[in-house]
Chains A and B, each alone.
Chain A
Amino acid sequence: MFKFIDGEDTQTSISFLLEDQKIEATEGMSVAAALLANGITTFRQSAVSNEGRGPFCLMGTCYECVVLIDGVHVQACMTQVRAGLSVDRIPTATTGIEE
């Protein structure tokens, strides 16, 4: 579980969507940090074992936090939040592709 450093949650608020869930964040945060701050730690599933995976390095090296933004695979840790962003988790063999 994560919390804001005291006094920092008063910064400009931004909201965006993870699938159909509304995510609250503050300006300057990465998408990965915003999801973690909202209690989401599973970002994708291993393509091999289907086990859940989440951010690991947060510096653009490990690719564990890859999500879909506007249909493109991006690293959530290297992308800053923007109002109205639409973030999806990558469909897998078990979750299927929703059309």
Chain B
Amino acid sequence: MSDLFDIIVIGAGPAGMSAATEASRHGASVCMLDEQQTAGGQIYRNVVHSPAARSRILGADYRAGLLMTQNTNESGVVHRTRATVWKVDKDGSVAFTVDGQAEQIRGRHVILANGAMERSVPIPGWTSPGVMTVGAAQILMKSSGIVPVGAVLVGVGPLLYLVATQLVAAGAPPKALIETQTKSDLIAAMPHFLPALKGWKQLAKGMQMIAALRWAGVPRFKGATEIEITGGASVEGVRFRAQGREKTIHTTTVFLHQGVVPNTQITRSIGLDHEYNTAQHSFAPITDDCGQSSNSVFSIAGDGAGIGGAKDAALSGKISALNALRQIGKITQSTCDGMAKPLLKRRRAELAIRPFLDAAYPPPASVLRPADDTIICRCEDVRAGDIRRYAALGCRGPNQTKAFGRSGMGPCQGRYCGLTVTEILVEETGQRHEKVGSYRIRAPLKPITLKELASLALPQETDKSK
């Protein structure tokens, strides 16, 4: 089967769901592709099947996703679940696999709403079994209803506090929070505080979370440095230095978090223009206000275009849908502008808190540019010192270090080591981030079997556009 749709949406999180629903409402044929069993993305993961008690633990912001998910399910959007996208072409063709069967469809316009992933946290011991991301802890709660007992959370950022309070609510309070935020981070964030007051509701939620942790008696160690996970074959504890003293906390489960970054695998693979965001320490594809990328066939919605959070992603999805409808001639430029205007205003309000959050919860230098003996590429066991050695030999960019030492060549295809390699090469060569660049990404974007590839039959295209 090979269908032509007006609009293909990749990703079914808040950005993808609102984009698909909005486009469908205006009479476009829409196909939404997503890897999960149900719509929701990571933030509203499994919200349709979450038992009442679980949803109560996860909180009101999670439950808010239920209505959006239901609206999407009732919208007439063709939602392909368990669909792993492995190739996106410049003409809007998208190849994906569902349960081992490959298919290819084409969109007159494609909205990329593939969202974010957690920043890599290369610290000593982070490859030991039992070390996961804070997002992983939340996924275990949302999808599988299990919680860690006596876990230690390490890192920085709002998600660290959110997951900690959810664990408290679930009767599994973390043993400790080891935080990398320093006093000087807070001082650096102060100039952004007044504008952030527009987002006072979000600030208030943050205060509530911190108060809940204090109430629950969860120890918090601030300004932690020299963090190391001890053990080997399995986690035994976390050793760190805080307030001038070295300390070890014993645990078998550690969750790491250093914020989230746009997932740029698809946008890189189709050669869209990207820029480095110094406040968010990550690359993001360049878009205009309406999500239009450097290729007229592609819009980008949500965190994949820069981190803004779930509410901003939903607004951005709607705006991208209007842009897509305009691109394929379903609505006029003036209709698009008129409808986007109030949404853009709401986005500005939603994003008011971002510069404060970006400055107050930065990844520390030791995470951005790890010590020589720390593994940075988990797939191929490449260490930071290896990259520095290749730089000394004359490597100027990540594709060269990849050829020298295999970093980025494993099954994750550089998703976790990419930014770290770029950052180390910036440090070593003195070039700018854009100049150093990132891995060249090619299809298949996720490992597939030859059998899956061979199952891709490509007969005549069936026109499903309206």
B146 touches A58 (CB 8 A): no
- The answer to whether the Cβ of B117 comes within 8 Å of any Cβ in the partner chain is yes
Docked CA distance A33–B137 (Å): 10
Q: What 1/0 mask marks residues of chain B from 186 to 214 whose CB sits below 8 Å from any chain A CB?
A: 00000000000000000000000000000
Q: How far is the CB of B414 from chain A (nearest CB, A)?
A: 11
- The answer to whether the Cβ of B454 comes within 8 Å of any Cβ in the partner chain is no
A48 touches B143 (CB 8 A): no
Task: Choose from B46, B57, B129 the contact partner of A54 (Cβ within 8 Å).
Answer: B129
- The answer to whether the Cβ of B253 comes within 8 Å of any Cβ in the partner chain is yes
Docked CA distance A52–B253 (Å): 15
Q: What 1/0 mask marks residues of chain B from 48 to 92 whose CB sits below 8 Å from any chain A CB?
A: 010101100100000000000000000000000000100000000
Known: A6-B53, A48-B380, A66-B411. A42 touches B145 (CB 8 A): no
- Chain B residues lying within 8 Å of A36, measured Cβ to Cβ, are 140, 146
CB within 8 Å of B: which A26-80 residues = 26, 28-30, 33-34, 36-37, 41-43, 46, 48-49, 51-64, 66, 72-73, 77-78, 80
Task: Choose from B37, B131, B141 the contact partner of A5 (Cβ within 8 Å).
Answer: B141
Q: How many A-B residue pairs have CB under 8 A?
A: 137
Task: Choose from B172, B379, B415, B447 the contact partner of A3 (Cβ within 8 Å).
Answer: B172
Docked CA distance A21–B172 (Å): 27
Q: Which of B147-155, B305-313, B342-350, B354-362 contacts A (4 or more CB under 8 A)?
A: B147-155
A59 touches B379 (CB 8 A): no
Known: A56-B378, A72-B449. A28 touches B143 (CB 8 A): yes
Task: Choose from B35, B140, B149, B253 the contact partner of A58 (Cβ within 8 Å).
Answer: B140
- The answer to whether the Cβ of B127 comes within 8 Å of any Cβ in the partner chain is yes
- Chain A residues lying within 8 Å of B5, measured Cβ to Cβ, are none
- The answer to whether the Cβ of B233 comes within 8 Å of any Cβ in the partner chain is yes
- Chain B residues lying within 8 Å of A49, measured Cβ to Cβ, are 381
Task: Choose from A3, A7, A46, A64 the contact partner of B147 (Cβ within 8 Å).
Answer: A3
- The answer to whether the Cβ of A93 comes within 8 Å of any Cβ in the partner chain is no
A62 touches B416 (CB 8 A): yes
- The answer to whether the Cβ of B159 comes within 8 Å of any Cβ in the partner chain is no
Main SS class of interface, B: loop
- The answer to whether the Cβ of B132 comes within 8 Å of any Cβ in the partner chain is yes
A63 touches B129 (CB 8 A): no
Q: How far is the CB of A47 from chain B (nearest CB, A)?
A: 8
A56 touches B140 (CB 8 A): no
Q: How far is the CB of B160 from chain A (nearest CB, A)?
A: 16
Docked CA distance A46–B412 (Å): 13
Known: A1-B253, A6-B171, A56-B378. A30 touches B415 (CB 8 A): no
- The answer to whether the Cβ of B40 comes within 8 Å of any Cβ in the partner chain is no
- The answer to whether the Cβ of B170 comes within 8 Å of any Cβ in the partner chain is yes
Across the two chains, which residue of chain B brings its CB closest to A26?
A: B145
Q: How far is the CB of B60 from chain A (nearest CB, A)?
A: 18
B144 touches A28 (CB 8 A): yes
Q: What 1/0 mask marks residues of chain B from 11 to 50 whose CB sits below 8 Å from any chain A CB?
A: 0000000000000000000000001010000100010010
Task: Choose from B135, B233, B447 the contact partner of A59 (Cβ within 8 Å).
Answer: B135
Task: Choose from B37, B117, B127, B148 the contact partner of A2 (Cβ within 8 Å).
Answer: B148
- The answer to whether the Cβ of B168 comes within 8 Å of any Cβ in the partner chain is no
Known: A41-B234, A58-B139, A66-B411. A4 touches B378 (CB 8 A): no
- The answer to whether the Cβ of A19 comes within 8 Å of any Cβ in the partner chain is no
- The answer to whether the Cβ of B410 comes within 8 Å of any Cβ in the partner chain is yes
- The answer to whether the Cβ of B185 comes within 8 Å of any Cβ in the partner chain is no
Docked CA distance A77–B144 (Å): 10
B381 touches A58 (CB 8 A): no
Write 30 A-B pairs (CB below 8 A) sorted by A numbering.
A1-B149, A2-B140, A2-B146, A2-B148, A2-B253, A3-B172, A5-B54, A5-B171, A8-B51, A8-B54, A26-B145, A28-B46, A28-B143, A29-B146, A41-B252, A46-B381, A56-B132, A57-B117, A58-B133, A58-B140, A59-B42, A59-B117, A59-B135, A62-B412, A62-B415, A62-B416, A63-B410, A64-B378, A72-B449, A80-B37
- 15 further interface pairs, Cβ-Cβ under 8 Å (given A2-B140, A53-B378): A5-B145, A28-B145, A29-B146, A33-B140, A34-B144, A41-B130, A43-B129, A52-B233, A53-B129, A54-B128, A54-B131, A57-B118, A58-B140, A59-B139, A63-B411
Pick the 8 closest A-B CB pairs, nearest first. Answer: A54-B129, A33-B144, A63-B411, A48-B381, A58-B136, A8-B145, A41-B129, A29-B144
